[in-house]
């Protein structure tokens, strides 16, 4: 096992997040931001990863796969992993019932199977949250791992079912399932920092990249075998100057001895 494992993950929302996840998101200008990610950001990221020999994990909504098949095929052809991110990018907690959530997850599985010829093993929920049904649906549909929750920082762990969060009783943690969680953090996601939507964005870019490096360095010193997950979006990270900062981050991290860049699927396999 390496001293440090780095997983670069790309949430390839295309236009699906604008249609399904944001109020008034499906305006022409917002949709064009998604199209920038498809037409410009994704190819730039693929070039960057190729130059540095880095294998990454792309979470692709079925909507993106079916709307922009050539763009998604380029990701697969370049040797990156493609995993599940919903069909429609609907926040799981907003489905009216388990049946409609199940139907969307199934449709997303079919879209990825059609493109890659194999069933996805991992799930990342749209907007990084679960409904009360999501965990049991993932088990029912044969997923092995998830990457949407935040119960650890640099260690995979097992998700629990049957927990109880009552307002008038102590919290009950429930029982471990077989589903492996490879945790994310809003602190290692480009969207909250940089995606201006009239409420957020415009973080100090240098400070954000410095923070990402500092988090890696802390993990390297303190967590033997730690797993560092960074999430980027082609429509956010695909901008000129940010690509250079990302490249510099990759180069700096790669210089640390015994550090490797791998997919989340292989992290789950080892766990």
Binding mask 1-40 for Zn ion (x = CB under 5 A): ----------x-x---------------------------
Nearest distance, CB of residue 265 and Zn ion, angstroms: 18
CB of 173 to Zn ion, least distance (A): 28
Q: Which is nearer to Zn ion, 39 or 217 (CB)?
A: 39
Residue 18 Cβ vs Zn ion, minimum distance, rounded to whole Å: 10
Q: How far are the Cα atoms of 15, 77, 88, 199 from residue 149, in angstroms, in the given order?
A: 23, 29, 20, 23
Burial 242-252 (b: 16+ CB within 10 A, else e): bbebbeebbee
Residue closer to Zn ion (CB basis): 13 or 181: 13
What the block records as the tokens of 105 is 């997850």
Shortest spacing between CB 19 and Zn ion, in angstroms: 12
Q: How far is the CB of 249 from Zn ion (least distance, A)?
A: 21
Whichever of 5 and 17 has its CB closer to Zn ion, that residue is 17
H-helix segments, 12-82? 16-20, 28-36, 42-52, 62-67, 69-77
Q: Is 218 exposed, middle or buried (0-12, 13-18, 19+ CB in 10 A)?
A: middle
By CB under 5 A, residue 189 contacts Zn ion: no
Residue 11 or 146: the one with the smaller Cβ distance to Zn ion is 11
Could you give the maximum distance between any two Cα atoms of the chain, in Å? 55
| Nearest residue (CB) to Zn ion, 179 versus 195 | 195
Q: Which residues contact 141 (CB under 8 A, 6 or more apart)?
A: 102, 105, 106, 109
Q: Which residues bind Zn ion (CB under 5 A)?
A: 11, 13
């Amino acid at each position: 096992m390496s001293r440090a494992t780095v997983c670069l993950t790309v949430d390839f929302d295309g236009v699906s997040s604008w249609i399904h996840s944001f109020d008034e998101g499906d305006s022409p200008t917002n949709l064009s931001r998604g199209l920038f990610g498809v037409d410009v950001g994704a190819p730039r990221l693929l070039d960057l990863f190729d130059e540095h020999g880095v294998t990454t994990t792309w979470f692709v909504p079925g909507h993106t796969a079916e709307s922009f098949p050539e763009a998604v095929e380029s990701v697969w052809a370049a040797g990156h992993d493609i995993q599940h991110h919903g069909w429609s990018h609907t926040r799981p907690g907003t489905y009216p019932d388990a049946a409609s959530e199940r139907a969307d997850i199934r449709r997303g599985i079919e879209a990825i199977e059609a493109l890659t010829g194999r069933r996805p093993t991992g799930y990342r929920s749209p907007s990084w949250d679960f409904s009360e049904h999501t965990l049991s649906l993932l088990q029912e549909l044969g997923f092995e791992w998830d990457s949407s929750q935040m119960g650890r920082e640099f260690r995979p762990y097992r998700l629990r079912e049957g927990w109880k969060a009552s307002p008038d009783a102590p919290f009950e943690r429930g029982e471990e399932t077989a589903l492996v969680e490879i945790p994310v953090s809003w602190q290692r996601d480009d969207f909250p920092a940089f995606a201006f939507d009239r409420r957020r964005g415009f973080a100090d870019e240098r400070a954000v990249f410095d923070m990402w490096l500092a988090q890696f360095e802390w993990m390297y010193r303190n967590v033997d075998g730690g797993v560092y997950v960074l999430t980027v979006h082609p429509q956010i990270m695909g901008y000129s100057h940010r690509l250079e900062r990302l490249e510099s981050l990759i180069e700096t991290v790669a210089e640390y001895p015994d550090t490797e860049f791998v997919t989340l699927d292989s992290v789950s396999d080892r766990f």
